[in-house]
Structure 1
């Protein structure tokens, strides 16, 4: 009985004890819950997913378990454990924001550090996460690196007989600081052409007047102007 109790607390650099494993998994779970809370409180999009937040917690905790198992199986295979851990990020989900992928790496880095560090140095993982978390929170709440102007996505449909470069160029010159044609697509069985622009409107311009001019220039066809926040991915 005494030998069993002693084995729970006995550990080496390459073979963590049962108590160390339990503590590491608990710490990893708590830290990854903080990562999930940070993601939720700094999210700025419109497609918030509870399932994704749960995935952050699960990934980080599972990574810790993988690293602990590899350490227990002989030590010098941490690199293999890291490879196995990073391979699990290939799950089927369309990321609507680039920061979603960054949070996956934050969660995995937290799990890796907790699993690889000895029990007496877990405070390093806590400190590192605090530094990163404060930086992320400050950037999100302070709106750091935001664009100076709000950009728009403009979709216009014109008939094939309209020379859209000549028609729209004067309108953009009056109302837009910048206008870039992103795509040209055939629509309605080839009878019309759909154009997509990235547009940055002038502060002095009137959106209603701009839309009216575009409507007339397109031959009274469909015109759609969508605001694009600086933290969203183009699709």
Structure 2
């Protein structure tokens, strides 16, 4: 029994056993494919968390990034070089309906990366899977640290309405300049049959300022009504 475990461990460490063909894989190469899919999927999930810039991320999406390469690797191992199996797999997948709406293009690239990792591991292209994941991670780190990809980040959306007066608008802008590091006018529209104006600002608060202080200062402007501050990501749909 001890000798059997010894030979199994030795074969696991011997990378020459991975040179089996895609049509007739060995058990060791299949195990490597699944393990590599899991490890690289976990790497993608970790780098997604480290480079995420929103307020919160979905745990289900993270689990999907880890599980998707394994599922794809299983599918590729099952299909092999058999065309009939491939057609049958496509027919089976066509019965599924994925209704998850992916709004962030960045999330879509992570999904494609997980698919690619699973495909490469499933066809025993281990070097491509490892190097491709490494290049993907390095590119994300470079984009994370570069200045052109960061841009001004905003803490949330500020909405209010006030009377149609240039003096009142100037007072509001003075408050924003005192409390915010960045602010940008998102929308402006007429309300109350044109007697009042409704404003929406994307704002980035100063380190010492808080949203409560901002609301308090704006509330001191006489004609300001309907103050509403909503935390959200920098890219919004107004």
TM-score (structure 2 length as normaliser):
0.62
After TM superposition, give the deviation of residue 198 of structure 1 in Å.
Answer: 3.1
Q: Secondary structure at the match of 1:92?
A: coil
1:180 match: 185
Please, which of 99, 103, 107 is the counterpart of residue 110 of structure 2? 103
1:7-33 per-residue CA deviation (whole Å, 9 max, x = no partner) reads x999545x2424233322221122112
- Contact preservation (8 Å) 2:65, 2:111: yes
Please, which of 109, 113, 122 is the counterpart of residue 120 of structure 2? 113
RMSD between aligned alpha carbons? 4.8
- Contact preservation (8 Å) 2:36, 2:121: yes
- Contact preservation (8 Å) 1:25, 1:65: yes
Cα separation, 1, equivalents of 2:137 and 2:127 = 15
User: Structure 1 residues 97-106 or 127-136, which shifts more?
Assistant: 97-106
After TM superposition, give the deviation of residue 67 of structure 1 in Å.
Answer: 2.5
1:128 match: 132
- Contact preservation (8 Å) 1:67, 1:82: no
2:14 match: none
The answer on 1:170 being equivalent to 2:178 is: no
1:34 match: 43
1:58 match: 67
- Contact preservation (8 Å) 1:157, 1:222: yes
